[in-house]
Amino acid sequence: METLRDIVIVIHLIGFAILFGSWVVEAVARRYQATRLMDLGVLVAGVAGLALAAPWGLDGGELNYVKIGIKLVVLIVIGGLIGASTGRAKKGRPLPSWVFWLIGALTLFNAALAVIW
């Protein structure tokens, strides 16, 4: 069971890597817009994160509900910002660049919470 949980952790981190990697590509190209790959990264990280929030037979251990809640809220905000960017791009109105930089900062913050806390 522990091996399966470790695999889900790796998938969770891969989701953040996809999200942050695609964000870096757009930042370096100075396009400042969300992409479909960012959508995929948020989806992978979110689904794997919800799977990690399952009890997994903790043997008397406790889940850190505060950490889970904060990470979920941050991920929802990231998803909302990416969705807003995608919607505005379809209408020909780019999102302000500070929102794009906020997506990157929140992604780093969420990944840091996963590793440090």
103, 78 contact by CB (below 8 A): yes
CA terminus-to-terminus distance, the chain = 22
- pTM of the prediction? 0.90
DSSP-H helix ranges across 1-117: 2-28, 36-52, 65-90, 97-116
In the prediction, which pLDDT does 115 show?
85
How do the pLDDT tens digits run along the chain, 117 residues long? Answer: 788 888 999 999 999 999 999 999 999 999 999 999 999 999 999 999 999 888 765 565 678 889 999 999 999 999 999 999 999 988 998 889 999 999 999 999 998 998 898
